[in-house]
Amino acid sequence: MSSLPDNPDALYGDVIMDHYRNPRRRARLPSADVEAEEFNPFCGDRATLQLRLGRSGDAVCAIEDVSALAEGCSIIQASASLLADNLRGRTVDQAADLSQLFRDLMQGKPLPPVAIAELGELEALEVVRQYPVRIKCALLPWVALEEGLRRLSQREASQG
């Protein structure tokens, strides 16, 4: 098992360090339609995700706003920030597809160029695969997203 370098900039690069030092979309949403929190008891990392959804009648049409709060290491904070930056304006299905693409990236599955393009800056987190213990850090905000979308789907099904 490799040890992490003393200087995280050397491992993580500009995109990850920028999102760690200047996280986006951390302000709580007072009227969130979706909220989910995930916690890793082994390291203390915590991710809380909130989504405000746009609607057309009874149908959800897009994610209007996102809040992603993360406590813990630089990887979870950067991952939460990148997630939040990439969800706004997407449909719920597109958010679920992006989550699956990101999970595939973290699991080292080969992705076609169109999928890499869809990931955009999220591809910067691919470096985390070199340190398997950090993969859970990168995935925790995405697990919160998946849980939030699962709850939304259940709620929509019970109402419809």
Give residue 53's pLDDT. Answer: 93
Query: Phi, psi at residue 28, to the nearest 5°?
Result: -60, 145
Q: What pLDDT, on the 0 to 100 scale, is given for residue 22?
A: 87
Which fold is adopted by the domain 12-154?
Answer: Sufe protein. Chain: A (3.90.1010)
Residues of the chain with pLDDT under 50: 1-10
User: What integer pLDDT is reported at residue 21 of this predicted model?
Assistant: 85
User: What is the share, in percent, of the chain residues with pLDDT greater than 70?
Assistant: 90
Q: Where are the domains of the chain?
A: 12-154
pLDDT at 160: 63
pLDDT score recorded for residue 11:
54
Convert the pLDDT of each residue in 29-67 to its tens digit.
Answer: 999 999 999 999 988 999 999 999 987 776 667 999 999
Q: What is the pLDDT of residue 59?
A: 67
Burial 69-95 (b: 16+ CB within 10 A, else e): bbebbbbbbbbbbbbbbbbbeeebeeb
Read off the amino acid at residue 2: S
Identify the pLDDT of residue 8.
Answer: 47
